[in-house]
């Protein structure tokens, strides 16, 4: 009984801090190698990146003001076999669904889905990126249609090279 308790406590401590502060106000998620920068384009991270309920998933939230609206973004990194990967749907009316090109990042594939929110002038934009064993879901809410270029720029500005390099911090 005592040995079981000691093993349980040690395993909990091994996963106690999966996210670490690094240079320039960024946070590093050691399971995936992902870097959550403090600022990308017009968007600034709101608070620290966090693990999701003690799992190997991580999330950070960003916000920007554009065209008189506050746009909120979440960047969620998770393993391909997680429950999150099984529930990648969104409520609302789907307007568009297609491939999204992430520059020369050949190891990545991405899709972009746009949904109508309750307010017809605002959209929900979801970018789903696959990188080997990991997935990244970038979700924007409160986005006026004319802000789509800044949403694309935010996604393109992510540190995609860090996702496939979980073994070393860069």
Torsion of CA 122, 89, 157, 52, to 10 degrees: 110
Give the pLDDT score at 95.
87
Residue 168 belongs to some domain of the structure: no
Strand ranges inside 16-103, DSSP E: 19-21, 27-29, 35-36, 39-40, 43-45, 50-51, 58-66, 69-79, 93-99
Residue 152 belongs to some domain of the structure: yes
> Could you read off the pLDDT of 98-122 as tens digits, one per residue?
999 887 666 788 999 998 876 666 7
- Work out how many domains the chain is built from and give that number: 1
The phi, psi pair for 125, rounded to 5°, reads -115, 130
Domain that holds residue 56: 2-163
Give the pLDDT score at 35.
95
Residue 86 belongs to some domain of the structure: yes
> Could you read off the pLDDT of 37-53 as tens digits, one per residue?
999 999 999 999 998 88
Residue 13 belongs to some domain of the structure: yes
Q: Tell me the CATH number at 54.
A: 3.40.1000
Helix (H, G, I), strand (E, B) or coil at 14: helix
Using only the alpha carbons of the chain, give its radius of gyration: 17
Residue 88 belongs to some domain of the structure: yes
Question: For every one of its 170 residues, what pLDDT tens digit does the chain have, with 9 covering 90 and above?
Answer: 444 434 444 444 444 578 999 989 999 998 999 999 999 999 999 999 998 887 889 999 999 987 788 899 999 999 988 877 666 566 678 888 999 988 766 678 899 999 887 666 678 899 999 888 899 999 998 888 888 889 999 999 999 888 865 443 33
């Amino acid at each position: 009984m005592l040995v079981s308790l000691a093993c349980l406590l040690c395993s909990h401590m091994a996963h106690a801090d999966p996210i670490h502060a690094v240079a320039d106000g960024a946070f590093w998620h050691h399971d995936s190698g992902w870097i959550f920068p403090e600022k990308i384009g017009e968007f600034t991270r709101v608070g620290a990146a966090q693990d999701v309920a003690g799992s190997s998933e991580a999330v950070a939230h960003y916000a920007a003001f554009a065209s008189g609206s506050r746009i909120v973004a979440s960047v969620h990194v998770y393993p391909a076999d997680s429950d999150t990967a099984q529930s990648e749907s969104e409520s609302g009316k789907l307007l568009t669904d297609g491939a999204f090109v992430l520059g020369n990042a050949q190891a990545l594939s991405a899709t972009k889905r746009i949904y109508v929110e309750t307010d017809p002038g605002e959209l929900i934009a979801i970018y789903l990126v696959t990188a080997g064993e990991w997935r990244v879901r970038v979700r924007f809410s409160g986005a006026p249609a004319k802000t789509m270029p800044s949403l694309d720029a935010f996604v393109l500005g992510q540190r995609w090279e860090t996702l496939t390099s979980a073994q070393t911090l860069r």
